[in-house]
Amino acid sequence: MSWGVTPLSPGAGRDQVNLLELPREQITELLRSGKLSVAVFGLGGVGLAVATVWLRAGAKVVGVDVDVRKVEAIMSGRIPHPEEVVVRTLRESLSSGRFTATTDGAEAVRSTQVADVIVPLVYGQGGPDFAPLDRAVEVIGRSMERGYVVVVETSLPPLTTETRVRPMLERLSGLQADEDFALIYSPERVMVGRAVEDIEFRYPKIVSGIGPRSLRVAEALYSNIARAGVLKVSSPRVAEFAKLAEGVYRDVNIALANELARLARALGVDFTEVISVANTQPYSHLHRPGAGVGGHCIPVYPMLLSWVAQLSGIRLELVDHARSINESQPIEVVHLLLRELGKLGYSPADGVRVAVLGLAYRGDIPIATNSPTYRIVGELLRLGYRVAVHDPLIEDDEYLSSIGVELSRDLGEVLLGSVAAIVATDHREYSELSPCDLVKLSGGRLVAVIDARDIMKISPCCGAVYVGVGRGRKCEG
């Protein structure tokens, strides 16, 4: 899909400013006085948060997205984001004329001094899908003038900024990076649900430039946004690698936790107690086991890094094995239920109903990207169970609808008639429930609970078996 056309207002007729030639103090003044305009490419959960922090720093913002319906919704004040500060800031800025959204990326570039690219990069069958990034870079390269600043925040395989983004921008613009325009790589480091807090207060901002002039502009801009400070690194490839390494570290540690929890259950050991004791040693950072790993980031970063490694003739065996463990964890959760129901005399052939609690990949957000729940549901259906899914924050889901699986925000509706339940998401609502509560909501039919997040109250159980992936068996039925 190409970048279409929607009228603009912020930044229209922008001042011809060459930020490469300005001292840090003057860049700060332009930003804080509202004379700097930024085009944010990609209005997903992170992109909307990025637009928000630019607005809060003083800039005018033009949001750019290829999704016409999303742009229309945003322009009408329907902001698709779980953070109240994002919704409030964007609505206020729409009313004041400091923010607008468009599908016309070319005009957005022509009306701004900075482009901030935060489009998605997904991993497909043959490797990373660079198409969204390439489309954004192409329209920027064709539309920018001397003195423009290009920031890329999308998590990228190392070398992408230097070997893909830079050549494309230079070829299409006829300009030279770090001489005629600034090229900055500064990876986002956020968790949707607290993204604005993460950017502004929680973490230092990693910045890199294609050269020293670009790096100076990056430091000048982000020193006004990141209260935790700016971390300058020597090259974009270092920044790219660092961002992926953060995610890979977490994926490997989660895999370790999932594997150790499996052994702990076999030995009758509460692994959550093991974690609390082991992590009093400062070198121990055991993560919690769970239903699997979801979201836009952690499941993808190991594959991006492994892809780069393969191009370099290297195999990241530990990284790849950890990914396979976490990919199989939803299946392990289902087979944990299968074993418990088997002990109680239930077979998948009986066509019993199983309630899956939680579709979101993480608690208390309405986002299901790469959620382990999808694999849990798929395996339950494959085995012959009937399945219903509850999520308090997600009203509908295209995939679940396509396979005929009920999704409801009514917990009682999902549990009624269910023989078993799997807690797949750590929503706060589930932490207030006990197995006994689920038994009552099921109409007295529920006999087993698999808590894949170790989040529920363990008792009372009202006769149901309770097994936590980390806690192990706590109620015998």
Domain extent listing, the chain: 19-234, 243-322, 327-476
Least confident of 142-156, 315-329, 345-359, 400-414: 345-359
What would the CATH number be for the domain defined by 243-322? 1.10.1040.10
Within 75-166, strands assigned E span 99-102, 114-117, 122-124, 127-129, 149-152
pLDDT of residue 350: 87
**Which whole-number Å values give the CA distances from 294 to 60, 362, 424, 430, in the listed order?**
34, 8, 11, 19
Q: Among the options 60, 70, 297, 461, which is catalytic?
A: 297
Rounded Cα distance between 255 and 452, Å, is 14
pLDDT in tens, 355-375: 999 999 999 999 999 999 999
Q: Among the options 60, 70, 205, 243, which is catalytic?
A: 243
Name 123's bridge partners.
Answer: 128
Is residue 243 annotated as a catalytic residue, yes or no?
A: yes
Two tokens, residue 32:
């804080």
Would the pLDDT of 4 be above 60?
no
pLDDT in tens, 421-472: 999 999 999 999 999 999 999 999 999 999 999 999 998 889 999 999 999 9
- CB-CB contact of 356 with 380 (8 Å): yes
**CATH superfamily label, 327-476:** NAD(P)-binding Rossmann-like Domain (3.40.50.720)
Rounded Cα distance between 376 and 335, Å, is 10
Q: Which CATH architecture has domain 19-234?
A: 3-Layer(aba) Sandwich (3.40)
pLDDT of residue 89: 98
Tell me whether the omega of the peptide bond preceding residue 460 falls within 30 degrees of 0, making it cis.
Answer: yes
Averaged pLDDT, 105-115: 98
Q: What is the dihedral sign for C-alpha 455, 457, 462, 466?
A: positive
Rounded Cα distance between 175 and 171, Å, is 8
pLDDT of residue 9: 54
Rounded Cα distance between 477 and 470, Å, is 19
pLDDT in tens, 227-282: 999 999 999 999 999 999 999 999 999 999 999 999 999 999 999 999 999 999 99
Would the pLDDT of 2 be above 90?
no
Decide whether 19-234 matches 327-476 in CATH topology. yes
Is residue 436 annotated as a catalytic residue, yes or no?
A: no
Confidence label for 164 from pLDDT (cuts 50, 70 and 90): very high
Q: What pTM value is reported for the model?
A: 0.92
pLDDT of residue 6: 47
Would the pLDDT of 320 be above 90?
yes
**Which whole-number Å values give the CA distances from 197 to 49, 84, 194, 228, in the listed order?**
9, 12, 5, 11
Would the pLDDT of 7 be above 50?
no
- CB-CB contact of 112 with 16 (8 Å): no
DSSP string, 394-420: ----HHHHHTT-EEES-HHHHHTT-SE
Confidence label for 210 from pLDDT (cuts 50, 70 and 90): very high
Name 388's bridge partners.
Answer: 355, 406
